[in-house]
């Protein structure tokens, strides 16, 4: 990455005394990424970035810092179970606000407890379980996948998903089953990582299991 490259900052609440579940945090980060886009999509900040690598930087904040940042976020915090996440417009590293730039990228790993139940109308983000991604890395990949899925929806389907409460589920699938599921008709765009952190370049990481949303029924089809 160069200093002039744009990244979308995503912030996870990491409460050491009451940590959220890993999969809930991943889901919250993905929805936050999309919500930031829908709240500010007319901004020039999204130009070019949407047609590039969708690069994101996922950072952690303690409850006090998270609360202050939530007051500044254009779309507020997304809550899934006990997990909370924020997202902002894409920005270069040089232009990133100091209160975001000072947050740590490391230390985002959260316990892999049972996630909160998601509704039946939720698109499910499927991540490659073979990669053993940290919560932060998995959050970035899930955010790539959900935003790619959202951008492919027609306006009525986008509205239906938002009116349904922007639901999303997260599942980790390993090996051959991940590849087979990604190739099924209706699966969202397959995310292939550039390999800048944690995993090798050109590694398939995530996709959304249902690539469309029914505005009539408010459920994936």
pLDDT at 221: 31
Assigned domain for 44 exists = yes
Q: For residue 211, what pLDDT is reported?
A: 58
Please check whether residue 18 lies inside any domain of the structure: yes
- Its domain, for residue 146, covers 6-108+116-220
What is the band of 140 on the pLDDT scale with cuts at 50, 70, 90?
very high
User: What band does 195 get if pLDDT is binned at 50, 70 and 90?
Assistant: low
In this prediction, what percent of the chain has a pLDDT beyond 90?
Answer: 79
Give 191-215 as a DSSP string.
EEE--SSSS-TTEEEEEES---EET
Position 96 in a domain: yes
* Lowest-confidence pick of 20-24, 35-39, 109-113, 209-213: 209-213
What is the pairing mode between strands 124-128 and 203-208?
A: antiparallel
Cβ burial of 54 (10 Å; 0-12, 13-18, 19+) is buried
Kindly state whether residue 1 falls inside one of the protein's structural domains. Answer: no
Note the pLDDT tens digit of each residue in 59-81: 999 999 999 999 988 889 999 99
Q: 211 in a domain, yes or no? A: yes
When pLDDT is averaged across residues 123-134 and rounded to a whole number, the result is 95
Does some domain include residue 161? yes
pTM, rounded to two decimals: 0.92
**Is residue 196 in some structural domain?**
yes
User: Which pLDDT does position 54 carry in this prediction?
Assistant: 84
What is the tally of structural domains in the chain?
1
Provide the CATH number for the domain around residue 79: 3.40.1490.10
User: How much is the pLDDT for 3?
Assistant: 45
């Amino acid at each position: 990455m160069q200093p002039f490259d744009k990244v979308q900052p995503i912030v996870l609440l990491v409460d050491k005394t009451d940590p959220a579940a890993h999969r809930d945090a991943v889901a919250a980060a993905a929805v936050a990424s999309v919500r930031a886009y829908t709240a500010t999509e007319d901004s020039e900040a999204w130009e070019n970035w949407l047609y590039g690598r969708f690069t994101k930087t996922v950072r952690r904040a303690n409850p006090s810092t998270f609360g202050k940042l939530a007051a500044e976020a254009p779309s507020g915090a997304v809550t899934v179970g006990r997990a909370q996440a924020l997202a902002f417009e894409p920005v270069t590293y040089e232009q990133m606000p100091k209160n975001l730039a000072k947050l740590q990228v490391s230390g985002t790993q959260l316990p892999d407890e049972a996630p909160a139940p998601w509704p039946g109308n939720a698109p499910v983000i499927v991540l490659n379980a073979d990669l053993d991604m940290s919560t932060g890395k998995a959050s970035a990949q899930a955010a790539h996948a959900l935003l790619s899925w959202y951008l492919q929806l027609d306006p009525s389907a986008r509205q239906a998903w938002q009116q349904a409460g922007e639901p999303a589920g997260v599942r980790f699938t390993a090996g051959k089953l991940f590849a087979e599921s990604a190739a099924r008709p209706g699966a969202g765009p397959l995310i292939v990582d550039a390999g800048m952190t944690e995993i090798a370049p050109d590694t398939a990481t995530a996709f959304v299991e249902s690539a469309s949303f029914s505005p009539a029924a408010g459920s994936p089809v």
